Amino acid sequence: MANAIIGIDTGGTFTDAVLLDGSDGRVLATAKTATTHYRLSRGIATALGEILRQHPVAAHTITAVCLSSTLATNSVVEGGGARVAVLVIGLVKHFKLPVKTVAYVEGGHTIQGTEEQPLDLETLVATLSGLKNEVDAYGVCAAMAMHNPSHELVAEKAIGMLDPKPVFCSHRVSRQAGMRERAATVALHARLMPVMRDFVSGVQTAMSEHHLHCPLLVVGGDGQAVPAERVVFEAARTVASGPACTAHFGAQKSSDCLVIDVGGTTTDIALITDGSPQPAEDGCRIGEWQTHLEAIDMHTGGIGGDSLVQLDGSLQIGPVRVTPLALATDLPAPANWLGVHGGCRLIMVRPEAVDELPDNDLGRLLRDRGHLTPATIRRQTGLGGVPLDRQLEELARRQLVVSCGFTPTDALHVLNQIAIGCRAPAVAGAELLGAPLGLSAADFARKVLQETEKKIENLILAYLARRFWGDSLGTLLAGRTDHPVLAVDFTLRLPLVGIGAAAPALLPGVAKRLRTTVSFPEHGEVGNAIGAALIGLAGDNPAKTERPPSK
């Protein structure tokens, strides 16, 4: 074989790898392994080793490794990544972003590029002094910086002198108007830089283990491949990487369809028209983040196979992702914690991370016990509400702990619809959580899957309503089946194409609700990895013509 290409997709639960023949795109080997968050290189190396074992090829014949990743998307949905402060310069209407803080400083320019107000350096310096020990990176967004970036450049210089951490300026990543969207764009770059840095480093380490020295590319949300050394500085470009590969793979299977990728953390939806994904007219939107990032038009929601199932007056699923009971290692018996005094989630210390736990009440308690529910932590430390949530988020961000709980994946194990882990803990969990509702383990599992299907169905309808009618139907869609007088049903005039390991179990019910059909392409369980490799094969790498990376 003259040449080959490798595609890798690293998701919240699994890392997939494929080997494609470079001459015709034929799939030669596939692998699905667990994503090892604490050391990404381990899971990636395992996946690479498996495809090269299935179909041995000489390292020099592999022309590229092309990556798809939902890590950035998952990080946004789950609130992970770096702690970011966004400095907004100019007299603008205040807004909120899901970052550590948004601080406002006087300054900015007019649309003609003339200074509207002098930059308030005194306030800027005072603000930085208060933030330097609280954040990992900065975003700077000044009014009309796309016409005159001088205030952003001064602020960047000041940050470098007072707190030398990564700085992302809006004029380098967006030429469009809209302060909130530009601020969100730089905030995402700043927040996701460590996520992408660790990801690229892990892949490079894994490649070295297998003596692969070919170019490493990462697929961006616009469906183009970016050299790995640059993507670290433009990390937010990869926010829709997974959906872009999903759409590219799905477009090979049907010229007009909705591609639905049911992952562990999220479900991604993309519209295919005339064999091509559609671009997002107003920039990429992920959850509450509306940005100016170029991407395919898609919708991502925090519901997937590994979404946490909770009982809090009613059954709730997602958006928090946890390790399913069926897939957890060294899991204590669910009867000892699940459903007891509000315990739906177990915080477990990674064995290799014990010595890195902080020397505070929470860290000492976890070091001593090894695993606890948040409810038990509240009782034993006095921590609660936002302070406890923040400390647990920080431990998860540093990947020192892992959360476990009952999920739709466990429900599928209970009903013997999948067998990728150990069924017994899933059955025990369904029995414990079903008992207060008067349901057997099997009936509880069915209820969880029905609610998961409803959430996916609502994601599809919300995406299509937004695309074709704006957001005017949002309230109607949210309560369309529960209204005491008026119930509304929809018929979808496009087929669904399902991708992801859980898709065959969840999407037939969704298709039935929407009165349409669903198909599952060959190798769909590793569709994103194939999509990444196909993008690499198609020569969609813009490295020769794109702008240089941001400094």
Asked if residue 432 has pLDDT above 90, the reply is yes
More confident residue, 313 or 209: 209
278: alpha, beta or left, given left = phi > 0 and alpha = psi -120 to 50?
Answer: beta
Cα dihedral 464, 465, 469, 470 sign = negative
Helix (H) or strand (E) segment spanning residue 86: strand 84-89
Cα 432 to chain centroid distance, Å, stands at 30
Measure the CA–CA gap between 9 and 218, rounded to whole angstroms. Answer: 10
pLDDT band at 349 (very low <50, low <70, confident <90, very high): confident
Instruction: Give the dihedral of Cα atoms 536, 541, 543, 548; nearest 10 deg.
Output: -110
More confident residue, 309 or 93: 309
Cα 20 to chain centroid distance, Å, stands at 26
pLDDT band at 451 (very low <50, low <70, confident <90, very high): very high
pLDDT band at 482 (very low <50, low <70, confident <90, very high): low
More confident residue, 484 or 299: 299
Q: Which pTM does this prediction carry?
A: 0.73
More confident residue, 448 or 276: 448
Burial-class residue 361 by CB neighbours within 10 Å (0-12, 13-18, 19+): middle
Measure the CA–CA gap between 383 and 385, rounded to whole angstroms. Answer: 7
From 100-104, 383-387, 459-463, 470-474, the region with the lowest mean pLDDT? 470-474
Token pair belonging to 397: 């961000």
Helix (H) or strand (E) segment spanning residue 10: strand 4-10
Report, as an integer, the average pLDDT of 428-447: 95
Q: Which pairs from 112-120 meet CB under 8 Å and 24+ separation? A: 112/147, 113/144, 113/147, 113/148, 114/148, 115/148, 115/150, 116/90, 116/91, 116/143, 116/144, 117/90, 117/91, 119/89, 119/151, 119/154, 119/155
Asked if residue 293 has pLDDT above 80, the reply is no
392-419: pLDDT as tens digits: 877 876 778 889 999 999 999 999 998 8
In the DSSP assignment, the letter for residue 351 is G
The answer to whether the peptide bond before residue 319 is cis (omega within 30 degrees of 0) is yes
CB crowding 247-269: b at 16 or more within 10 Å, else e = bbbbbbbbeebbbbbbbbbbbbb
Asked if residue 522 has pLDDT above 80, the reply is yes
Measure the CA–CA gap between 31 and 224, rounded to whole angstroms. Answer: 24
Looking up tokens 């240089």 gives 548
pLDDT for res 549: 37
From 148-162, 372-386, 441-455, 500-514, the region with the lowest mean pLDDT? 372-386
pLDDT band at 292 (very low <50, low <70, confident <90, very high): low
User: Cβ neighbours of residue 401 under 8 Å, at least 6 residues apart?
Assistant: 347, 348, 349, 350, 353, 366, 392, 395
Token pair belonging to 142: 């000044």
Q: Where are the beta strands (DSSP E) in 297-388?
A: 298-301, 307-311, 315-321, 323-324, 345-349, 371-372
Asked whether 90 and 199 are in contact (CB, 8 A), the reply is no
More confident residue, 288 or 465: 465
Q: Where are the beta strands (DSSP E) in 274-400?
A: 276-277, 285-286, 289-290, 298-301, 307-311, 315-321, 323-324, 345-349, 371-372
pLDDT for res 524: 85
Measure the CA–CA gap between 292 and 110, rounded to whole angstroms. Answer: 20
The rounded percent of the chain whose pLDDT value lies above 70 is 89
Report, as an integer, the average pLDDT of 150-158: 93
Percent of residues in the chain assigned helix, strand, coil, to nearest 5: 40, 20, 35
